[in-house]
Chain A
Amino acid sequence: MRITIDRDRCIGSGQCVMTAPGVFTQDDDAVVALVPGHEDGAADPRVHDVPLVCPVQAVAIFED
C-alpha cells in the first residue's frame, strides 16, 4: 500500500487523524502529515476509511 497526501489541498479538518491516528498526524500548522515510520499505512487498519472521510480528497491510497 502507498499513501499520498496533498498538503496544499488539506484544510486541516483532522478527519484523517481522528480516523487513523497510527498513520496520520497534523504538524504545528494543523496541516496533514504522515506519522514517521508508518508511511506504509500498516500501523492502522482504519487507514482505508481515510479517503472517504477527508473532505477535500487530499489523501489517496494505492494498493500494490
Chain B
Amino acid sequence: MTEAEIRLSRASASFPQDRTCPYQPPRAYAQWRGESPLTKVTLFDGRPAWLVTGHAEGRALLVDPRLSSDWGHPVFPVVVQRTEGRGGLAFPLIGVDDPLHARQRRMLIPSFGVKRMNAIRPRLQSLVDKLLDDMLAKGPVADLVSAFALPVPSMAICELLGVPYGDHDFFEECSRNFVGAATSAEADAAFAELCTYLHGLVVKKRAEPADGLLDELIARQLAEGHLDHDEVVMIALVLLVAGHETTVNAIALGALTLVQHPEQIEVLLRDPAAVSGVVEELLRFTSVSDYIVRMAKEDIEVGGETIKAGDAVLVSISLMNRDARAYENPDVFDARRNARHHVGFGHGIHQCLGQNLARAELEIALGTLFARIPGLRLAVPLEEVPIKAGHDAQGPIELPVTW
C-alpha cells in the first residue's frame, strides 16, 4: 500500500471494536501502536474522530481544559448508538465541565477519601469472606461473576450510598440494561426505571434519614439549597451505576488474568503487602474502561496534527496502558512491575471518584480469593468465556471457574 492508502484505510477503521481476548486490546488496534500518538478513526454514525494512543500525549490531553466533557453540547460525540437520543442530558460529575464539575466533586470527595476507604476495609473483608464461604460450600463449578465479582461492589456501593441491598436484583438489572442494552429504547426504559426508584428513595430518605452518602447529601447540600431533589437523584444514579459497571469487571478480569498466569499468583500469595502492586498492574493490563470520550473546545496541536475545535477526541486507555514508551514489554503481565502511573482510572479532573474504593475492593477480593483457593482455574477454555462488547466496560459476562 502507498502511504496515502494506508492513511485512508486507517481513517476508515471503525471505533470501538470488540476484544477477542478479554484482557487484550482489540486485535485491530495493533495497527495504531508504536507510531503516531494520534490517529483518525470513524464512529458508528460516520463521524471522524481522533484516537489518542500515546501515554504521554493522552495524559497531557486529559488535563487540558481545552477538551470538554459536556455531554449536553449539541455536537458532543456519540460513540454508542443507544445513547443517541440522550443528547442534552449532562450527567452530574461525568458529563459536565468545571466549574460545575468541581462543585459537584467537592461535595462527594469526603465520602471517598483515603481515611474513609481505609475505615471500610474490615467490612469489605467480612463481606468477601462470607461470599467465598458460600461459593466453596456449593462446590465447583461456580460462575465467579455472579457468585463473587458482582456482589462485592454491589453490596459495597449500596452500603456507602445507603441504598437498600434488598433491591439489588432490580437495580443490577436496570444498571446492566442502562449501559449494555441493545437498543436506545431499552436503555431509556432502564434509565426511567432507575430514576423512578431513586426518586422514591430520596423522598423516603428526606422523611426518614439514615446513614449513608445520600443521607449526608440530603442533610447538608439539599437542606442548605446547594442541590435540588433532582440533582440528588441524578448523583445517586451516576454513583450507583458506576459502582455496578466497573469494579465487577475489574475483579473478574483480574481473577481471569491471574489464573491465566498461574506462576504470578505466587507474588500475591508470598507477600500480602504485594497485593496493591499486583492490583495496579492488573488495572494497567486489563484496562476495564477502554476509552474516554471528549470534544475539543479550541484548536489543539498534538504530535504534528491539529485537533480542531468541535472535533471528537477518544482517548484510548488500553493503548496508553500498553505504550512501549511508558512501560517496558507492555504486553507482558508482570505482577512485580511498578505500574502506578497507569491510566486505568483515567487522568485529569474526571479521574474516577471511586478509585480508592475500587482498590480496596480489588485488593481484598483478589488477595482473599487466591489465599483461600490457590488452585482456582477456568472451567472452560479461554475462548469460550463470553465477554462484553467493545463499547461497554470490558469484562466477562460469565466466568466459569473450578478448583
B356 & A29 in contact (Cβ 8 Å cutoff) = no
Rounded to whole Å, the gap between the CB of A26 and the closest CB of chain B is 5
B109/A29 in contact, CB under 8 A: yes
Q: Name A's interface SS.
A: loop
Chain A residues with CB under 8 Å of chain B are: 11-14, 17-19, 26, 28-31, 49, 52-53, 55-57
Contact A11 B351 (CB under 8 A): yes
Query: In the complex, A64→B231 CA distance in Å?
Result: 48
* Contact B105–A12 (Cβ < 8 Å): yes
Contacts A55-B349, A56-B348: A12 and B341 contacting too (C-beta < 8 A)?
no
The verdict on A30 contacting B351 (CB below 8 Å), with A49-B340, A57-B63 known, is: no
A30-B109, A31-B109 known; A56-B349 Cβ under 8 A = yes
B115 within 8 A of A: yes
* Docked CA distance A17–B115 (Å): 10
- Starting from the known contacts A14-B356, A19-B340, A56-B349, 13 additional A-B residue pairs (CB-CB under 8 Å) come to A11-B351, A13-B356, A14-B112, A14-B114, A17-B114, A18-B359, A30-B110, A52-B340, A52-B341, A55-B62, A55-B346, A55-B347, A57-B63
Please determine whether A18 and B110 come into contact, CB atoms closer than 8 angstroms.
no
Establish whether residues A11 and B356, one from each chain, have CB atoms under 8 Å apart when the complex forms: no
Can you report 27 residue pairs joining A to B where beta carbons are below 8 Å apart? A11-B105, A11-B109, A11-B349, A11-B351, A12-B105, A12-B106, A12-B109, A13-B351, A13-B355, A14-B112, A14-B117, A14-B355, A14-B356, A18-B359, A26-B113, A26-B114, A30-B110, A30-B116, A31-B109, A49-B340, A49-B341, A52-B340, A52-B341, A53-B340, A55-B62, A55-B63, A55-B346
Query: What is the CA–CA distance of A13 and B112 in the complex, to the nearest angstrom?
Result: 8
Interface size of B as a range: 20 to 34
Q: How far is the CA of A11 from the CA of B112 in the complex (A)?
A: 11
Closest 10 CB pairs of A and B: A12-B109, A30-B113, A55-B351, A30-B109, A14-B114, A17-B114, A30-B110, A26-B113, A55-B347, A52-B341
By the criterion CB–CB under 8 Å, are B348 and A55 in contact? Answer: yes
Docked-complex contact B112 and A12, CB < 8 angstroms: yes
**Chain A positions within 8 Å of B346 at CB level:** 55
